[in-house]
Amino acid sequence: MTQQRIGKKTVRDIDVTNKKVLLRADLNVPLENGAVTDDTRIRESIPTIRYLLEHGAAGVVVCSHLGRPKGRDEALSLAPVAGRLANILNREVLFAEDCVGEQAAAAVGAMPRGSILLLENLRFHPAEEANDPAFARELASFADVFVNDAFGSAHRAHASTEGVTHYLPSVAGLLMEKEVQYLSALVADPPKPFAAVIGGAKVSTKISAIEHLLPKLDMLFLGGGMANTFFVANGVDVRMSLVEAEQVAVARRILEDAKARHVQVFLPVDVVAATAFAVDAESTVVKPADVPRGYMILDIGPATVKLYARELRKAKAVIWNGPMGVFEMENFSHGSTGIAREIASLQAATVVGGGETAAVVAMTGLEKQFTHVSTGGGASLEMLEGRELPGVAALLDS
């Protein structure tokens, strides 16, 4: 998989000496009782912050969203994130109690040379998601240069991802560059044989990605709730399992298209079926056609993991997007974690879409065994669909 330039200027292409930099990072991390429970995204933002300071930036003003607040919500304050960022960097990180307005402007104005300031949650203001020009202009007024390193938000045309680019010279950060490089290179020119493992609850959310990938693929492995719709397309009764009835014809078309293109499609040969969507539900491992009445499919079975593992060993490149079952429940997580371990062991280029798939990988502790684990679920999916991300498109061309 050859690395290629992303067609956009990055921090390496500009001089940040004596300039204040507005850095859009993706610090949308999980919190529990006011503490960060997974700092992966914070750590991924560190190389760009260090690069800017090492190259003489007058200061780095970091902005991000956290969660989906409706107005100001102290439970979704970025204050704990500032603390964790300071711990990782082993240096002070200043915090502004708002992202715009007098408080923010005063905090930016008081920044000592070479310091880091984290602004409060952008989404405390509806103007962020509305891509309001006045809000974007005010954010831009805090800096001389804009660096977008928030790949996880690059598929959204918000004030902090697209709006600010109208007011400042705008380039990609090191994480943004890495994400776009890996995903675009894999889809544009994959080593062969090329395999995709696609899961998740619904076919409807993955159709575009499958259709875009199909002409490049040699093997397609399906799992998760979406596999049920493909079972029905093949005439299998999956009882109480989740099925998108309106997508059955689409699933049938994908199977026909794959056959015409000589793409091998693998569906689960055994499944874990349970009486309820619950941790303590009675469950059994059966063939998809043998799901008992009153049961629903909630995971792929052990024979499927073995089959997929054996066939995946033939691949030179693998893209994985979507869990194989209800991995949040321990008794239905084994299919997903099993596939994670098998892909991690491959002698191949292995790229994982973000979101839930990255969460599965994190459960195994094998992140470093993959070629690349994306930080952006929605953004990586849209790249796999062949779509241009607004947050990337808005940056200066190289």
Tell me, what amino acid is at 387?
R
Class of domain 190-384: alpha beta
Tokens for 383? 């790249």
pLDDT, residue 1, reads: 52
The predicted structure's pLDDT at residue 3: 52
Catalytic residue among 41, 123, 156, 206: 41
Q: How confident is the model at residue 261, as a pLDDT?
A: 98
Active site residue 206: no
The residue from 202, 252, 253, 387 that is catalytic is 202
| Structure tokens given for 367 | 């992140």
Domain ranges in the chain with CATH number 3.40.50.1260? 11-175, 190-384
Number of Cβ within 10 Å of residue 92's Cβ equals 12
Q: Lay out the sheet containing 372-373: strands in order across.
A: 264-266, 219-222, 194-198, 317-321, 349-352, 372-373
202 is catalytic: yes
DSSP state of 225: T
DSSP string, 347-359: SSEEEE-STHHHH
Cross-strand partners of 284: 273
Q: State the pLDDT at residue 4.
A: 56
Q: Which of 72, 83, 239, 378 is catalytic?
A: 378
The phi-psi region of residue 262 (left if phi > 0; otherwise alpha if psi is between -120 and 50; otherwise beta) is left
Amino acid (one-letter) located at 366:
L
CA distance 8 to 99: 27
* Assigned fold of 11-175: Rossmann fold (3.40.50)
Q: Are strands 317-321 and 349-352 parallel, antiparallel or unpaired?
A: parallel
- The residue type of 304 is T
Both tokens assigned to 128: 């962020």
Kindly report the number of other CB atoms within 10 A of residue 91's CB atom. Answer: 12
Is residue 378 annotated as a catalytic residue, yes or no? yes
| Helix ranges (DSSP H) in the chain | 40-54, 79-89, 101-109, 126-129, 133-140, 174-188, 207-213, 226-233, 248-260, 302-312, 334-344, 356-364, 377-384, 390-393
Residue 187 is predicted with a pLDDT of: 85
Residue tagged active-site, from 223, 353, 355, 377: 355
- Flag residues of the chain having pLDDT under 50: none
**DSSP state for residue 10 in the 8-state scheme:** B
> What φ, ψ does residue 373 adopt, rounded to 5°?
-115, 115
Token reading at 169: 């010279």
